[in-house]
Structure 1
Amino acid sequence: MRVLHVVTGLASGGAERQLQLLLRHLPERHSCEVATLTNPGTVAEALRAEGVVVHHLAMRGNRDLTVLPRLTRLIRSGGYRLVHTHLYRAGLYGRLAARLAGVRTVVATEHSLHAELIEGRRATVGVRALYLLAERLGTTTIAVSRQVAGTLDAWGVPPHRVHLLPNGVEAARYTLPTASRAAVRQTVRTDLGLPQQAWVVGAVGRLVPGKRFEVLVDTLAELAALAGDHPALREPWLLLVGAGPEREALVRRAERLGVRGRLVCPGEREDVPELLVAMDVLAAPSTEETFGLTVLEGLAAGLPVRYSACPALDELGPEAAPEAALVPSDPACYTAALCELWSRRSTALPQPPAVAHYDIARIAEELGRLYDTLAAGEPPPAPRDGRDRPRTAVPS
């Protein structure tokens, strides 16, 4: 089956990286291409390197209606049987273009939806009304967590139109033999200018206000002060992976606090698994997550994780990720939580059951079956409303 994925942009964000993983693992019976409305960034480059056709529609802004006929022509000429949209703007234009092109099976994944926010923008009455109008043009809306499914329900999307299918992590990609891990760790630290013996707190994500990375900059300053009183502790550093409008503000904050020399910001990167190996702990102070993929990636890489929001783990019991701990999103709490880990020897932890539960290979196989079911005109199996328990037990 020919499938076109329509996405707002292809910078290295969580939804974009998730799309890349799904395309890598979807069953071969589905032939997929991607159309990006704007910003064909690093994920577009990576997809093309993996042999995926990426169409750039050169949309100039949210109200650039000229993209609609271009997208409609692409869908009509491409012979796609199913269109799958990702993110708000792509959902608006992609669903309508699919219908205009005569494609009757239209799926949308809702990656980032809160009661009052959608992808960081205010969910005003107008935004909600437009969202609901577009949603009715689709066949099924996929929620990546029970939290998202519950929000869709509260917004007025009928439960029978919502299917719960979580994000996934490429578990095998993070598994390295001990010797290989040590070599990667040494190489990455050298390339980034990180001292080999430093204690590195890591974070990954878009540098936007909602991620609350300023909490970690403040925490770094507090840890640096503590290190001066305890010479036996390794020198603390912060490795902040990602790009976004908050970068300069975070750097200025670090300068003001006297820790700029211990803050490394390598920008948007595709080698996140290798960068995680260079860390000693992953910290995620965001309180606005709809899934928490970075937390799972840290666990897959064998790191202890301290986080402030992760619906993916909320849906499982504490035994699913014993090395992950919930921490209030403020510097004092993160300082206290990280101090408990500081004197530990940095060895790779085994992947916890949560990683196997969210393995992308299983998620992609289920998505492939959903495509088959919908294309055959059948209703999606086991509609989800976000209020029941996960459909599969956590692997032991």
Structure 2
Amino acid sequence: MKVLHVITGLGIGGAEQQLRLLLRHLPVQHGVVTLTNPGVVAAGIESDGTPVTHLGMAGNRDLGALPRLARIVRQGRYDLVHTHLYRACVYGRLAARLAGVRRVIATEHSLGEAQIEGRPLSAGTRALYLASERLGTSTVAVSPSVARRLADWGVPPARIQVVPNGIETGRFAYDARARRLTRGVLGIPEDAYVVGGVGRLAPGKKFDRLVRAVASVPEARLLLVGDGEHREELLRVARECGAADRVLLAGACEDPPSVASLGPSLPELLSAMDAFVSTSPDETFGLAVVEALAAGLPVLYVACPAIDDLPPDAAPGARRIGESVPELISALRGIRDARLARLPQPAAAHRYDIARSAGQLLSLYDQAVHGTPSPAK
């Protein structure tokens, strides 16, 4: 089976790194087209052995990209096209139809309550999405919460399949040696109490609230992993709170790391933390929370469908909290004073292993191409 993946961009991001993980675990022949930004994840995918084509799309209204993409689909003789992220879903479905490929699966990674991929929802956005969705075979939601939102939007429930995001669970197990070495590299004392967060440094993630909360918890330090347009604002807030020396922005972290990656890996950075906090109030999955739980960390989160959609005992180390700064301060003080030991990997971490997600996706591929799903793994 030949599958072409079409994605909006391949800079460091959750959907982009999720695609790379899936490619490593799906036993089919792949090609990848990125409409824009062939960044570090594109290099990682190529180093794994999958070719990446940069379409060079100039913007959302670059209609000239459509025939170029259709030509790639046609010349590659692909059995199925799999699209990721809004722009790629719209253009990829159209291009596949123009190329004569009617089997199209689209993964919806980032549909929140009031935003899609960090941008406010609008009537026009919804109308265009629904018009192109009818050209596909099925739409994959990364969580039951996203599936419900798609149905509320107007996607027929029979066309929606839930295949959760996944992690390489074994890689995230706590490593005491990695903790010591990573803290040494980052200049963090061995006895420091480190609160961590992972994600794009964007206003919607509300990391400024976490900075203010940590500033109010004596002796606590904050380690944020990620990069984005809100970086300088977060540094300003840290200075304003008198906590500039206790806030460390570690920058973006490609995961899994490629050969050229410098600095600690994400599992190593999680091993260096003592607690994990997700302050984003509008998440479509919450992969960083699952990774932190796999690392044995106590986790505080404002919103995480990946956990909320499971039975309460699936993630005993996770606790949902309010999003205000006083509530964050109270919760942080509580887990600091408890000095919780590392927890074993919970059922949630194993439920979201990438091999399981890849097996579910392969079943959808087989059903679309051959009419018979393969046994789910």
Cα offset for 1:296? 0.3
- 3-state SS of the aligned residue for 2:276? strand
Q: Is residue 193–residue 336 contact of structure 2 (8 Å, CA) maintained in 1?
A: yes
CA drift at 1:327: 0.7
* Offset at residue 66 of structure 1 (A): 2.1
Determine if the alignment matches structure 1 residue 62 to structure 2 residue 60. Answer: yes
In 2, the alpha carbon distance for the partners of 1:191 and 1:97 equals 47
Deviation per CA, 1:207-244, whole angstroms, max 9, x where unpaired?
Answer: 11111101111011111xxx2xxxxxxx3111111111
Counterpart among 233, 241, 246 of residue 262 in structure 1: 246
Q: Distance in 2 between the 1:309 and 1:169 partners?
A: 19
2:13 equivalent to 1:13: yes
DSSP 3-state at the match of 1:343: helix
Counterpart mapping for 1:65-80 below 5 A: 65-80=63-78
Supply the distance in 2 between the matched residues of 1:313 and 1:46 (Cα, whole angstroms): 29
Once the two structures are superposed, the pairs formed by residues 1-40 of structure 1 within 5 Å of their partners are 1-26=1-26, 28=27, 30-40=28-38
- Counterpart of 2:273 in 1: which secondary structure? coil
Report the Cα distance in structure 2 between the residues aligned to 1:172 and 1:362, rounded to whole angstroms.
Answer: 13
How many Å separate the matches in 2 of 1:49 and 1:281? 33
Deviation at 1:103, TM superposition (A): 1.1
Match 2:282 to one of 272, 279, 288: 288
Establish whether residue 208 from structure 1 lines up as the match of residue 207 from structure 2. no
Q: Give, in angstroms, the shift of residue 346 of structure 1.
A: 6.0
Q: Percent identity?
A: 54
| Aligned with 2:269 (options 246, 265, 275) | 275
Q: Tell me the SS of whatever aligns to 1:325.
A: strand
CA distance in 2, matches of 1:302, 1:51: 32
Any idea what the Cα deviations from partners look like across 1:51-89, whole Å, max 9, x if unmatched? Answer: 221111121222122221221111111121111001001
Residue identity in the other structure for 1:357: R
Whether the 8 Å CA contact 2:197–2:276 is kept in 1: the answer is: yes
Counterpart contact for 2:145–2:309, Cα < 8 Å: no
What amino acid is the match of 2:49? G
Q: Which has the higher contact order (CA 8 A, sep 6+)?
A: 1
1:49 is aligned to 47
1:279-329 Cα distance to aligned partner (Å, 9 max, x none): 111100111001111110000111110000111111112111111000111
Could you report, residue by residue, the CA deviation over 1:230-273 in whole angstroms, capped at 9, with x for unpaired residues? Answer: xxxxx311111111111111111111111111111121112211
User: Retained in 1: the 8 A contact 2:45–2:52?
Assistant: yes
Matches of residues 180-191 of structure 1 in structure 2 within 5 Å?
Answer: 181-191=175-185
- C-alpha deviation, 1:344, in angstroms: 4.2
1:361 aligns with 2:355: yes
Match of 2:252, as an amino acid?
A: E
TM-score by length of 2: 0.93
Distance in 1 of aligned mates of 2:153 and 2:127: 9
Quick check: 1:87 aligned with 2:71? no
Between 65-74 and 339-348, report the one with greater CA deviation: 339-348
Structure 2 contact 113–282 (Cα < 8 Å) conserved: no
Give the Cα separation in 2 of the matches to 1:17 and 1:347: 30
**How far off its partner does 1:15 sit?**
1.1
CA distance in 1, matches of 2:325, 2:213: 5
Describe the superposition over 1:191-217 as per-residue Cα deviations: whole angstroms up to 9, x where unpaired.
Answer: 222222211100000111111101111
Q: How does 1:141-156 map to 2 (within 5 A)?
A: 141-156=139-154
In the alignment, structure 1 residue 306 sits paired with structure 2 residue 304 = no
- Cα distance in 2 between the residues matched to 1:346 and 1:21: 31
Tell me if the contact between 2:209 and 2:279 (Cα under 8 Å) persists in the aligned partners.
yes
The secondary structure found in structure 2 opposite 1:332 is: helix
Separation in structure 1 between the aligned mates of residue 98 and residue 185 of structure 2, nearest angstrom = 50
TM superposition score normalised by structure 1: 0.89
Q: In structure 1, what is the Cα distance between the partners aligned to 2:240 and 2:113?
A: 35
Q: What letter is aligned with 2:82?
A: H
- More displaced, 181-190 or 316-325? 181-190
Residues 115 and 182 of structure 1, relative CA distance in 2, 3 Å threshold: closer
Letter of the structure 2 residue corresponding to residue 368 of structure 1: L
Tell me which residue corresponds to 1:252: 236
Q: Which residue of 2 aligns with 1:373?
A: 367
Q: Distance in 2 between matches of 1:283 and 1:84?
A: 33
One-letter code aligned to 1:59: M
SS at match of 2:228: coil
Corresponding residue for residue 259 of structure 2: none
Q: In the TM superposition, what whole-angstrom CA distance separates every residue of 1:7-55 from its partner, at most 9, and x where no partner exists?
A: 11112211112111111111x2x11121111112221122122122111
Q: Mark the runs of 5 or more structure 1 residues left unpaired by the alignment.
A: 228-234, 382-390
Residue 321 of structure 2 is matched in structure 1 by: 327
Paired residue secondary structure (1:188): helix
Q: Which residue of 1 aligns with 2:261?
A: none
Letter of the 2:348 counterpart: A
The equivalent of 2:192 in structure 1 is 198
For the residues of structure 1 that align with 2:64 and 2:6, how far apart are their CA atoms? Answer: 16
What SS does structure 2 have at the residue aligned with 1:132? helix
Q: Give distance in 1, aligned partners of 2:343 and 2:42.
A: 32
SS in 2 for 1:362: helix
Is 1:236 aligned to residue 229 of structure 2? no
Match of 1:387 in 2: none
Aligned-partner Cα distance in 2 for 1:344–1:12: 35
- How far did residue 343 of structure 1 move? 3.4
